[in-house]
Chains A and B, each alone.
Chain A
Amino acid sequence: MKINPFFRTSVLALVLGVFTLQGYAADPILIGLSITRSPPGSVIQGTQIKDAMEIYADMINAKGGVLGRPIKLLIEDNQGLPEKGRSAVEKLITKDKVVAITGAHQSSVCLSEIEVAHRYQTPYVNTNCWADSVRVKGYPEVFNTSPYNFVVAQSMAQTLEAMKVKRVVAFAENTDYGIGLAKGVGEALKSKGSNIEYKFETLDRASKDFTPAILSLKSNPPDVVVLTMLPPGAYIALNQLYEQGVAASPKTLVYDGAGMADYPDFWQNVKDAGKYMMTIGMYHPDMKLNDLSKQIAVEYKKRTNNDPNRLIYQAVDSLLVVTEAIRQAGSTDSAKILEAMRKGKFDGARGVMTFDSTPGVAFQQWAAIPYVNYQLTDVNQAVGKTTLLQGPGLPLNTTKITFPKN
């Protein structure tokens, strides 16, 4: 069959035109996520961050996207390994051409990734890397919506002082986060002129037996054992402290510096050992939720059947800073986005975020990050039912602290 050349050309032009227009209209803004999706890193954190960011990206896209373009998240698995993180970020920037990177949740990985982001001058928003060294480097591309060791250490030192304890031992996992926070607590105590006898012991986070380190405390237990460890190591340490009768006991309490009590698998893994644990929390149901965080909470519960925790809101806030900075800059140009991040105000899930420009531990950090201190007083207790020792922005009340009777 012979096709009329005019008809053939018209059809071809129409098809090409449709594809070109479609391509233009649907050209998404690519944002890179480097998170842990497989072991040995914290897959549970990576999954929470991914879920939360997908919820927020869907919300933005349902409202027409940013600058009329949809948001598309490109996810790379860094396995919680610094070298994998470095290559993931390199790929996202050079091959996928993302406009910004976010999602990071392990300090050691962050520290290697920011080198790449700095080299390519690509905006990098840190979701959950607590180590101060991420900020101290002073890279203009790195912005931090994550909690940071300095403020956590200050708060923990303040709590220990208020408790009027005499002797504190910290167990720190051998990571930038763990050692950094344990050192930070010691420095914070020193700077306050405290008389508390404080020391920390570094533990291998991959180890499954911390009993020898715990046994050495048995003859003279400290008043508080501070844990600057992440699960699953933290769960094992907590269980073994309990088994050996060191903590919780009428003399000694555990004070968790990782905010692990709101992890979905916390109670399943610690049971009785979690009772009486004090913890610093970056989220508590007593914190006031705005419309955004309420919407996120409902959608997160719907999609995962879990209650939201601080990591969900941190993830949303990181992505929000990227998308709002693009909106405020009116461009996807890196320099303009960075400028918008430096100067902008971002109405996030946890409050209004601005970034400090003072060099040091709070460089380009949302400094006024909200936190609480609370104590778990029963097994399987929901965070909302725990004893709030210090509400957000409120003074600490140590009279509410409970010790086990035997």
Chain B
Amino acid sequence: MLFLDLTINGLIMGLFYALMAVGLSMIFGVLRIINFAHGEFFMVGAYTYALISTSFGINPWFTLPMAAMGGALLGMIVERTLIRPLYDGYRSWSFVKDEYAVVVTFALSLLLVHTVDKVIGPSPFMGPSLFDLKRIAIGPIMLNGQKLMAAGVSIFLLIGLAIFIKNSLWGKQIQAVAQNRFGAALAGIDPIKTTSLIFAIAGGLAALSGALLSPIVNPSPDIGSFPAIKSYIIVVLGGLGSIWGSMFAALILGVLESYFAVYLSYDYRDAFGLLILIVVLIFRPQGLAGQKGREV
């Protein structure tokens, strides 16, 4: 029974990790940069959801899309003001592209954490549940109602995202820009609009993830560091830039962490994720679903 409990709990955690990590993976897939402020999109979503719901007494089901829109808007603003210089009209910057991306996104991360700390305050802030029942017994398995609801919403969103990327015109444009930015532009795709859309989706998903987990993780200003670190592991584990790989890796990580914590040692639970990462990088450097690349 413990094994089943651990598997279900691990899969649920994996779904939350996946929701965070796909956005990061999409950004890397298109721009080849790591967004170090990605965790703060999560934090912004968690706070938007919790504050609007509790301060104005609005039903959490309505504040959920508001949080997602807040994250999407933030993503678009970040792309327009901080990221666009990387690829639009600043060709001489190309040799410092990676350094610029690291510095600017890291600075943004610190700015957002400290702004929320000073403006809203340092205390943890539990958001309202979407589902009022805290304990739900499904046979011998005990689940948190909010966790169950959040997992359901996450599955719906991840499937929706997969269909959107695969079948919609915008999704195909995203794939094209990720494969070859210049070639996509020659074919008439606007890579700037596409990149802006990717940041909006990434910000929206991370913020939604924050909002869904807000009643579970008691967000405080530095809450973003926890999902961000997991996301970095997942993105590399799944294969840099591979959305499917990230989803798969997130579920595997969630479940394996759960088993490891109980059957081996809780002390090293988070280190275990890094251990898996090292092993995968040694034997399959392109990640679980990534493709081998060659420098030319």
A residues with a Cβ closer than 8 A to B are 38-40, 42-44, 46-47, 174, 201-204, 206-209, 211-213, 215-216, 218-219, 231-232, 235-236, 239-240, 242-245, 264-265, 268-273
Contact = CB atoms under 8 A, between A and B. Distances in A.
Contacts of A219: 1-2
Given A202-B266, A215-B2, A245-B135, A231 B124 contact: yes
A206 B225 contact: yes
B123 A264 contact: yes
Given A206-B226, A245-B135, A44 B122 contact: yes
B122 to A, nearest CB: 3
Contact of A207 (B134, B135, B143, B226): B226
Given A38-B117, A39-B117, A269 B124 contact: yes
Given A215-B5, A216-B2, A269-B124, A208 B217 contact: yes
Interface of B: 1-2, 5-6, 9-10, 13, 113-114, 117, 122-126, 134-135, 137, 142-144, 147, 213, 216-218, 220-223, 225-226, 257-258, 261-262, 266-267, 269-270
A153 B226 CA distance: 31
Nearest to A204: B270
A231 B125 CA distance: 11
Contacts of A207: 226, 269-270
Contacts of A243: 134-135, 142-144, 147
A44 B218 CA distance: 14
B178 to A, nearest CB: 31
Contacts of B142: 218, 243-245
Given A212-B257, A232-B124, A269-B125, 18 more contacts: A39-B221, A40-B222, A202-B267, A204-B270, A207-B226, A207-B270, A211-B13, A218-B142, A219-B1, A231-B124, A242-B135, A243-B147, A245-B137, A265-B123, A265-B125, A269-B126, A269-B218, A271-B134
23 contacts: A38-B113, A38-B114, A39-B122, A40-B225, A42-B122, A43-B117, A43-B221, A47-B122, A174-B267, A201-B266, A203-B266, A208-B213, A211-B13, A213-B262, A215-B262, A218-B5, A219-B2, A236-B217, A236-B218, A242-B134, A243-B142, A270-B126, A271-B126
B124, B225, B257, most chain A CB atoms within 10 A: B124
Contacts of A240: 144
A211 B9 contact: yes
Name the 5 nearest CB pairs between A and B, nearest first.
Answer: A43-B122, A39-B222, A212-B261, A232-B124, A265-B123
Given A208-B217, A268-B125, A268-B126, A213 B135 contact: no
B266 A235 contact: no
Contacts of B223: 208
A73 B233 CA distance: 44
Contacts of A218: 2, 5, 142
A218 B10 CA distance: 16
A339 B218 CA distance: 46
Given A207-B226, A212-B269, A243-B142, A235 B114 contact: no
A239 B127 CA distance: 13
Contacts of B122: 38-39, 42-44, 46-47
Contacts of B217: 208, 236
B277 to A, nearest CB: 17
A174, A208, A211, most chain B CB atoms within 10 A: A211
Contacts of B269: 204, 207, 212
A212 B258 contact: yes
A211 B266 CA distance: 11
Contacts of B9: 209, 211-212, 215
Contacts of A268: 123, 125-126
A18 B124 CA distance: 50
Contact of B266 (A39, A43, A208, A212): A212
Contacts of A40: 222, 225
B89 to A, nearest CB: 36
A245 B262 CA distance: 18
Nearest to A211: B9
A248 to B, nearest CB: 12
Nearest to A216: B262
A232 B46 CA distance: 15
Contacts of A213: 261-262, 266
Given A39-B222, A174-B267, A269-B124, A209 B13 contact: yes
Nearest to A244: B142
B267 A232 contact: no
A235 B220 CA distance: 12
